[in-house]
Amino acid sequence: MTKTPWYEKYKTVEELEAHVSQCVCNGNGYFRVNVLPNHRFFGKAIQCMCKRKQIISERARHFRLASGMTDAQLERWRLGLWQPTKIKVPQGKDREATVAQARKLLSLCKRYAKNPKGWLILSGPYGTGKSHLGFGIASELVLSERSAYAATMPNMLDMLRNSYQTDSYQVTLMRLRDTPLIVLDDIGVERPSGWVAEVTYSIMDYRYTENLPTVLTTNQRVSGDQPPGSGIDGRLWSRMQEHVIVNLPWGDYRTRDR
Ligand SMILES: Nc1ncnc2c1ncn2[C@@H]1O[C@H](COP(=O)(O)OP(=O)(O)O)[C@@H](O)[C@H]1O
Ligand SMILES: [Mg+2]
Ligand SMILES: [Zn+2]
């Protein structure tokens, strides 16, 4: 008695493809099974698992490239690497309570990365971990093959300026406006002027009106009247006040007691 060929238990090409567990294509990416003309698989090019893996990694690559972050950055800023117990507790503050606050913030960021909704503003002095958490949110999305763009404000502005020279300006602008998540780090450090200011504002205004997921970090305390000399657009400042603002009330990570 002849043995039933391995592919016979599958009804469709899709089902068969899903069960190819080793490379059987000799590097072609596709293979055929040797069957008679009336067979359901006759003449069909069947995708090999090596091809499927390649497509998956190209897809992942697409998300990484569009993110504005390098592979090294994506790894370095993972949310899992941010440790609530490692924050610098300011003198005179209760350690347990401060660490508990940090823990809460980390879970909030993790939840936001799973299901980004609305705007999230992280405000605090240097070294409190704002960039890590902001980029970390984008990183979690990108590594699970969802679209996100993250950059410092100056880098985003550079990208816009460069796109202006290469005629891809409109495309770049639309992409920034519509990306499912944008993270802008350190806003207000550089005061944009002229068309850059207008363009930045138009992106933010659109995202505000459509309530699109947006994470902003700043070392300015975003409450009440805008301090003089702040690099944040006045119109943006007032819109930021309407969103979830988290103040990071601890100290510089780099000066903590280990
Ligand atoms: N709680 C933490 N656990 C681990 N690393 C941290 C923590 N807070 C800050 N860091 C690290 O300290 C450095 C400064 O943090 P960063 O996010 O750049 O601060 P900020 O943007 O608020 O100035 C980064 O390398 C970051 O990874
Ligand atoms: Mg920072
Ligand atoms: Zn193969």
Please write the tens of the pLDDT for every residue from 192-213: 778 777 888 889 999 999 999 9
What is residue 226's predicted lDDT score, i.e. its pLDDT? 80
Three-state DSSP class for residue 9? helix
Give the strand pairing for 30-31 and 46-47: antiparallel
Contact predicate 181/148, CB 8 Å: yes
What is residue 76's predicted lDDT score, i.e. its pLDDT? 95
CATH 3.40.50.300 segments of the chain: 68-255
Query: pLDDT (tens digit, 9 = 90+) per residue, 225-236?
Result: 887 777 888 888
What is residue 164's predicted lDDT score, i.e. its pLDDT? 80
Q: How many CB atoms lie within 10 A of CB 140?
A: 23
Q: Which ligand is nearest to the CA of 50?
A: 3
What is the whole-number distance in angstroms between the Cα of residue 130 and the centre of ligand 1?
Answer: 7
What is residue 233's predicted lDDT score, i.e. its pLDDT? 83
What is the whole-number distance in angstroms between the Cα of residue 174 and the centre of ligand 2?
Answer: 26
Ligand 1 atom nearest to CA at 128: 22
Q: Fill in the amino acid letter for 96.
A: E
What is the whole-number distance in angstroms between the Cα of residue 14 and the centre of ligand 3?
Answer: 16
DSSP string across 3-61? PPPGGGG-SSHHHHHHT--S--STTSSEE-----TTSTTTT--EE-HHHHHHHHHHHHH
Ligand 1 atom nearest to CA at 219: 22
Nearest CA to ligand 1 atom 18: 131
Nearest to 207 by CA among 182, 184, 234: 182
List, as own/partner pairs, every contact residues 7-14 make where C-beta atoms lie below 8 angstroms and the sequence separation is at least 24, other chains included.
7/33, 7/41, 11/40, 12/40, 13/41, 13/44, 13/46
Three-state DSSP class for residue 30? strand
* Residue whose CB lies within 8 A of the most ligand 1 atoms, among 250, 253, 256, for a mutation test: 253
Q: Fill in the amino acid letter for 75.
A: E
pTM for this predicted structure? 0.85
Helix (H) or strand (E) holding 149: strand 149-152
Q: Could you identify the residue written with the tokens 């920034």? A: 176
What is residue 135's predicted lDDT score, i.e. its pLDDT? 97
Nearest CA to ligand 1 atom 12: 253
What is the whole-number distance in angstroms between the Cα of residue 126 and the centre of ligand 2?
Answer: 6
Below-50 pLDDT ranges, the chain: none
Nearest CA to ligand 1 atom 8: 129
What does residue 245 show for φ and ψ, rounded to 5 degrees? -110, 120
Class of the domain covering 68-255: alpha beta
Which residue ranges have their beta carbon within 6 Å of ligand 1?
A: 82-83, 86-87, 124, 126-132, 253
What is the whole-number distance in angstroms between the Cα of residue 238 and the centre of ligand 1?
Answer: 27
